[in-house]
Structure 1
Amino acid sequence: MNFVEELRWRGLLHDIMPGTEEELAKGMVTGYIGFDPTADSLHVGSLSQIFTLVRFQQAGHKPLALVGGATGMIGDPTGKSQERNLLSEEDLQKNLQGIQKQLEQFLDFDCGANSAEIVNNYDWFKNYSFLDFIRDAGKHITVNYMMGKDSVKKRLESEVGMSFTEFTYQLIQGFDFYHLWKERGCLLQMGGSDQWGNIVTGTEFIRRKAGGQAFALTSPLIKKSDGTKFGKTEGGNIWLDAKKTSPYQFYQFWLNSSDEDAANFIKIFTFFSKQEVDDLLAQHQPAPHLRVLQKALAEDITRRVHGEAALQTAINTTDFLFGNGSLDFLKALSHEDVIGVFEGIPQFTIAKSSLDAGADILTLLAEETQIFPSKGEVRKMIQGGGVSLNREKIAAPDVVVNASSLINNSFLVVQRGKKNYFLIIAS
């Protein structure tokens, strides 16, 4: 199965320029995808394009990942209803370094002729004067052509309009393609379907300026079956950086996919073969409550992004919070990792000294932490068997908690009812 056929069965082919498939069949082709450095980490929405580059390389072609050090100073207007805030050079450099580190995690940079490379368009724009650019590039693409693009039309018709800065974005992206075509022999640009207009501007620029031929391919924008935006939760973006989104939260994001979404995502975000995907679908359909698809998806992608150890911690955390898992796995984690495991779960801090002489459970849970609104509520729930400390049921309301109960000499895990967890941090 060639690269384009692979994209087709995975539902990852939206638009393709005539002749692209034939060009790819001739032998190794250099192709690129651009990544916008608006933050110091990519998010799950970027994985589709990252994995497209990986599949491209696995098919024997040479992938270039372009980080937009120059275009990041402008901001892509595509799909945006208003002007972006311009990044400072310091923030931009921080973002570029973070993104480059993440790209290096997925692509193979040492495999011979088709080794991946990361390129930064700031390298060829930094010494390019404005006058040189409008003379060398601006005259080849007409204003009429640029205004015909949907991303420009929508903004011009809106109340906010479009600045000249953002209007130039597609010309700069087009020049990127020309530069890589001329200097690196790059024949193909790929991206999301919203980038089709910008990508085609590049192929047109190459044709008009140099009489050359280049090709374009896009994949559909990922959407959830319920119409909500992919890659976001109530807490915001799901980032690839473990410091921004813990591996547990990352794992849960995929595990909580609907059946319809999981059937789609497992083709897009894993490297399972068609036969493996069909087998998983066949296992899932008779017993969807077992969530075979979701577990396979969450495990594979968490392992790929965060590694085996982080995956096991995420699974252990899930078993602990939603099953009968043991607390023992916490003992092997650092202080910061334990807090990360319980990210998104209410946390309270108390003075460790308050446990030296022992703290009665009613005061601890109602006054020092406000896990319960009153001592009476704590007493009532304890008597009903609904309160646990470190997985042990509290037998009576006169229980005293001391420092010996602390996990890793720092933590207490409180459970109220079946599913409500709280972390107490003693410092």
Structure 2
Amino acid sequence: MDSTTQDLLATLEARGFVHQTTDRDGLARAFAAGPVTGYLGFDATADSLHVGHLQGLMLMRWLQRAGHPILLLIGGATTRIGDPSFRDSSRPVLTDGQIALNMAGIAKAFHRYLEVGDGHGRAQVVDNAEWLDGLGYLDFLGAVGRHFSINRLLTFDAIKNRLDREHSLSFEEFGYTLLQAYDFVELSRRYGCTLQLGGADQWANIINGVELSRRQGGPQLYGLTMPLLATRDGRKMGKSAQGAVWLNEERLSAFDFWQFWRNCDDADVERFLALFTELPLDEVRRLGALGGAEINLAKTVLANEATRLAHGEGAQREAEAAAAEVFADRDGAGQLPEIALTRKELEGGVSLVELLVAAGLQPSRSAVRRLAEGGGLRLDEQPVMDPDIRLTLTDAGRRVSLGKKRHLRITLTD
């Protein structure tokens, strides 16, 4: 990875990381003048990050490798409220114990992608509870609240859209944007942080932090947002048909993580290679231009690179080898044992769990469910989370996998 700073912003733009900046020219000058301390925030709503967070982690990785200090802010305090941005309902209330467990799980992903810890050049993990827990309400209103107009806050899309749809917005949620603005100013004061990164849905919150610093006579702050990613089929990045694509292996195996990337849409390959790998852009363009069956080579490169970063080279090799073993018969369907079902059976729908038990492939329905819960039950490359699904005519020819070693094919017979 190029470690120079002079073209960093242009590189980030070319790779697709940049959606908006508060002052593009000013930020470019700041990067050229010396190290810029940037931060990215995470609320502790789950015990693992997922692929939807990966764009931000990769962006921070580029900044760190270019010599810029980075802060990883976990919202130990703001998680209790929940960011209302572009949500129709309030987030579930978490206990302090749940938040602490989630924070520990989130930190695991940081260490995979970034150099974290004490010392020069290492990312620092900070918790906004350090300054928000002791902040008095009247002090907050005096220091922050007086700088913001309710009229203007109501024009921000994240708030306006929710009210327009007549969905409830609590007072604490309404104040979330002011807390995030305060975080930015406090990080500037404590750590010399002048850049906040976030998804496009954080634009209003970031602008408020930049504005608060200006109104308080503080330093010039900058904001950079990343585009909100969706797959070509319209699914929000970080989600699959089977659920969230988690970064921690306790939540999702390296094999299933590898499969997520290997199974992406052809049209997403080049974009994902640019964002989620460190391959040079000319190689990204070459791989993205492959057509026909050759695009699968690019998908394998994407899966290998993304899995290596998330889980390490050893896990990446094991996942690739396991996938090769499972699908070695792709061009020879007759090599797998078969379960033959009639057209009439499939037209009426056949319960997968009942089929596996009746065929003697699993001892009981509960055994099938345990296999599914552990991620060991798959149709083709996709994990089956609900073993009660009913197989139909469209499933004829599909491959059923029970663990990594046992595979069979559903066939249609008259």
**Does TM, normalized by the shorter one, top 0.5?**
yes
CA-to-partner distance for each residue in 1:84-140, whole Å, 9 max, x for gaps? 111111101111111122212221136954321111101111211222212222112
Residues 366 and 245 from structure 1, CA distance in 2 versus in 1: closer, same or farther, beyond 3 angstroms? closer
Q: Which residue among 147, 163, 166 is the counterpart of 2:170?
A: 163
1:365 aligns with 2:360: yes
Residues 137 and 320 from structure 1, CA distance in 2 versus in 1: closer, same or farther, beyond 3 angstroms? same
Q: Which residue among 11, 19, 30 is the counterpart of 1:14?
A: 19
When the two chains are superposed, the root-mean-square deviation of aligned CA atoms in Å is: 2.7
Q: Does the 8 Å contact 2:326/2:404 carry over to 1? A: no
Distance in structure 2 (CA, Å) of the matches to 1:26 and 1:66 = 25
CA-to-partner distance for each residue in 1:163-194, whole Å, 9 max, x for gaps? 00100000000000010111211111111111
Q: Does the 8 Å contact 1:259/1:288 carry over to 2? A: no
Q: Which residue in 2 is equivalent to 1:296?
A: 301
The alpha carbon displacement at 1:50 in A equals: 0.7
Q: Does the 8 Å contact 1:303/1:310 carry over to 2? A: yes
1:28 aligns with 2:35: yes
Identity of aligned residues (%): 36
Distance in structure 1 (CA, Å) of the matches to 2:148 and 2:327 = 58
Q: Unmatched 5+ residue regions in structure 1?
A: 326-345, 351-361, 371-410, 421-427
The alpha carbon displacement at 1:3 in A equals: 2.0
TM-score when scaled to structure 1? Answer: 0.76
Quick one: which amino acid aligns to residue 416 of structure 1? L
Distance in structure 2 (CA, Å) of the matches to 1:363 and 1:201 = 62
Q: Which residue in 1 is equivalent to 2:408?
A: 416
Distance in structure 2 (CA, Å) of the matches to 1:367 and 1:75 = 43
Distance in structure 2 (CA, Å) of the matches to 1:81 and 1:53 = 30
The alpha carbon displacement at 1:222 in A equals: 0.9
Q: Which residue in 1 is equivalent to 2:260?
A: 253
Distance in structure 1 (CA, Å) of the matches to 2:263 and 2:240 = 11
1:310 aligns with 2:305: no
Q: Which residue in 1 is equivalent to 2:158?
A: 151
Q: Does the 8 Å contact 2:270/2:287 carry over to 1? A: no
Matches within 5 A, 1:13-412: 13-18=18-23, 19-109=26-116, 113-282=120-289, 284-285=290-291, 287-289=292-294, 291-324=296-329, 365=360, 368=363
Q: Over alpha carbons, which structure has the higher Rg?
A: 1
The alpha carbon displacement at 1:288 in A equals: 3.4
Structure 1 window deviating more from structure 2 (290-299 vs 111-120): it is: 111-120
Distance in structure 1 (CA, Å) of the matches to 2:74 and 2:310 = 19
Quick one: which amino acid aligns to residue 415 of structure 1? H
Residues 201 and 366 from structure 1, CA distance in 2 versus in 1: closer, same or farther, beyond 3 angstroms? closer
Aligned length: 347
Q: Does the 8 Å contact 1:321/1:419 carry over to 2? A: no
Residues 93 and 366 from structure 1, CA distance in 2 versus in 1: closer, same or farther, beyond 3 angstroms? closer
Aligned to 2:279, the other structure's residue is in SS state coil
CA-to-partner distance for each residue in 1:134-173, whole Å, 9 max, x for gaps? 2222112221222221101111212222100100000000
Q: Does the 8 Å contact 2:15/2:275 carry over to 1? A: yes
Residues 241 and 366 from structure 1, CA distance in 2 versus in 1: closer, same or farther, beyond 3 angstroms? closer
